[in-house]
A and B are shown apart, each in its own frame.
Chain A
C-alpha cells in the first residue's frame, strides 16, 4: 500500500488488514505511519501491518524496497498505489517546483511501483495492481493543470499496463475517485463527499469484480461523461 498514512490509502489498508491480509504500509511521514501501523495492530490485536518509510517521489527506491518487502513478508500478490499530492495553485500561478512534485509523486511514483510489480507479476502469471487516479484526469481544467496532467499520465500508463498484463493473468485496475473526505481535500468543502472508508469499500469491490476502470462512487462515471463531452469552445469559457 503506497500512500498508507492517511486518506483513501489508509482506509484501504485498514480494510485489507480487517480481511486478515498482511499489509506493508508505505508512507513518507514517519511518525504518522508508525502511529497508523500501531493502531491497526492494536485494534485487531494481530501483527498485520508493517511500516516502510518511503517517499513516492523518490522513484529510484521502489525496486529495492519491493524486494525488501518480499524478503521480509513473503511474495506480494497485490499492490495499491494511492500516493498523491495536490498543492493549492492560484489561477495565475505557474510554479515549476509545485508542478514537478506532482508529476514525480502522482505519475512517476505510480510508474516506478507499476514497473516493479509488473516484472514480478508477469513472471508469476498472476497478481493485481490497483492504481488510484482521479476524475481530475478526464479533462484539463483551469484550477490545477498539472494535477490533471499528472493523473492523466498515470491513468494512461495504467491502461497500457493493463493491456500488456491482462492477457497474462495479471489484473490492473484503475480507480477514479470523485469527491472523498480526506486530509488532501480537507480545505475544499466538497459537497456530497463520501467518507474514505466508503471509497475503500468500493475500491475493493472493483478489485473483486476485476473491473478495468472504476469511478468511485459510480455516479461520477455519468458526471464525467458529460464533462468529457463539453466541446472546447464552451469548456474554455467555464470556471470548472
Chain B
C-alpha cells in the first residue's frame, strides 16, 4: 500500500440512509489507523468534534454531523485474512457484509449475523450492534466478534477481547461510535452445509397470527421474518407474509455445493433477466407519490398465497437475506422528502397490544408505513442494547417535503415512542431519528446510562466523538 499524501478534508453533503436527516459536513477518508490518529489529534487541537461513519446505512443521524466533521472509514475496507479451517475472518472496519460473505462462502461459511442490505460496514455493524433475521437464536452482530482493535480519542490503540476487557468490549460494541474507532476485527462465521436455504412463505391473516407463528416456529426455524401490510385495517390489521428459512443438513442438498461460489450468491442485477433493476425505483416513486402504496401492498399480500402453495422452495443465502439490495436505490422512491424508519422493540407480553396500537395510530394520523417488518428478538449482553425478549416492528415511513406534514410525522413518532417506552420497550440507533434526550435513560435504564457516561468520560474525556445522534440524546 502506497500512501503518498495524507487524505484531505472535503466539504460534502452527509445524509442518513433515509435521506431525511443530515446535511453539509467536512469529510475525511483515512486509509490507515495512523491517519485516524492524526485526524483525532488535529480535531482535538482545534477544539472540535468528529463523527465516525461507515457505509452510511444508518437510517437516521447516527453517522451524520451537520456543519461538523465526519471520518468516513469506507476506504479501510480490506479483508485481511480468512482461516478456511475455522471460518474466522480478519477485516478492516470499512469492509462490508458483502466482502465478508464473498470471502467466507467459498469455503462453506456464512456470516452468523447479516443485515437486510450487504452494504453495511463491519465498523458500523459493531457500533450499532446490528441484527438479522435470526436474532432470536444467534443473537446480535457483537456476539460473533472475537476481538477488535479500538483507536481511542486519547490516542491509544487497544486490542480488546471479551476476556481482556469485558467492560470495554460490551460497551464499544453497541456504543454507536462514542468510545473510539474500530480499526480491525476478528469475526466468526458459521459452517453451512449448502450454498442455499430452504424457504417457506406463510400467509399470516392478522397481527396475532403473525406473533403466534413467531412463537410456534422459533424453536425450529433458523430464520424468521414477516413482511407486514400495514395498510390493512379491521380484521386484517397486521396481516403479512411470514418467511421462514432453514439451513440444510449435511447431505440434504448436494447441489448446494456449487452455490458455495460468490458469483452464484449475488442478487441478480436484472428482473426476469431483462429489466435492469436500477430502473425500478422511478416506478416505485410513482406508487408513493400517487398514493398507490396500499394497492401495491394488497397485491403483494395476495401473491403470498401462491408463494405458500409453492413452499418450501430453495434460495441462495444471498437471495434470501439481502432483500434491500434487490432494487438498487429503492429509497430514492421517497425523494425529495426521504424516509425514516421507526423500529420499536417491545417485550413479549406487551407485543400484541402495543404493536396493534402503533399500527392504528399510524393509520389514524395518515402516516401509513409503506413497509413493515416484524421480527423476534432476545436480549444480548451489550451495554447500550436495544434488544428485548420480544418483538420488533420496523416501519418505513415516507417523509413529506411539506414542513407541517414532516412536523406531524415527528410528533406521531414521539407519541408512539411514549407508548413503547411505557411498555418497557427500546429503540435501535441504526434506525432512530426522533427520540428526545429525555428518552435516553428510559431506553437503557439509568444504571446503564451512568455506566456508559463514565466510560465516555474515561476513554473520550474531551468529547471528541460526537454525532447528531449523540447530541440529540444528550450522551
Contacts and interface: CB of A to CB of B under 8 A. Distances in A.
Nearest to A20: B254
A15 B260 CA distance: 12
B75 to A, nearest CB: 16
B83 A31 contact: yes
B6 interface: no
A43 interface: yes
A34 interface: yes
B60 to A, nearest CB: 34
B251 A196 contact: no
A40 interface: yes
A42 B257 CA distance: 9
A85 B257 CA distance: 25
B250 A43 contact: yes
Contacts of A42: 108, 191, 193, 250
B255 A18 contact: yes
Contacts of B83: 31
A141 to B, nearest CB: 26
A15 B107 CA distance: 16
A26 to B, nearest CB: 17
Contacts of B262: 181
Contacts of B191: 42
B263 interface: yes
Interface residues of B, number: 22
Interface in A72-93: none
Given A31-B83, A31-B85, A34-B85, A40 B264 contact: no
Interface in B179-213: 191, 193-194
Contacts, number: 64
Contact of B264 (A6, A45, A195): A195
Interface string B77-100: 000000111000000000000000
B264 A197 contact: yes
A202 interface: no
B258 interface: yes
Given A43-B194, A196-B261, A197-B261, A35 B253 contact: no
Contacts of A44: 251, 254, 257
B194 A35 contact: no
B84 A35 contact: yes
Contacts of B263: 181, 194-197
Contacts of A39: 107-108, 257, 260
Contacts of A46: 251
Interface string A27-60: 0000110111011101111100000000000000
Nearest to B248: A43
Interface in B107-124: 107-108
B84 A32 contact: yes
Interface string B354-374: 000000000000000000000
B276 to A, nearest CB: 15
Nearest to B259: A197
B318 interface: no
Nearest to A17: B257
Contacts of A32: 84, 107
Would you list the 8 A-B pairs with minimal beta carbon distance, nearest first?
A45-B251, A35-B84, A195-B263, A39-B108, A43-B257, A44-B254, A181-B263, A45-B250
Given A18-B254, A42-B193, A195-B264, 8 more contacts: A14-B260, A18-B255, A18-B258, A31-B85, A43-B254, A43-B256, A45-B251, A181-B262
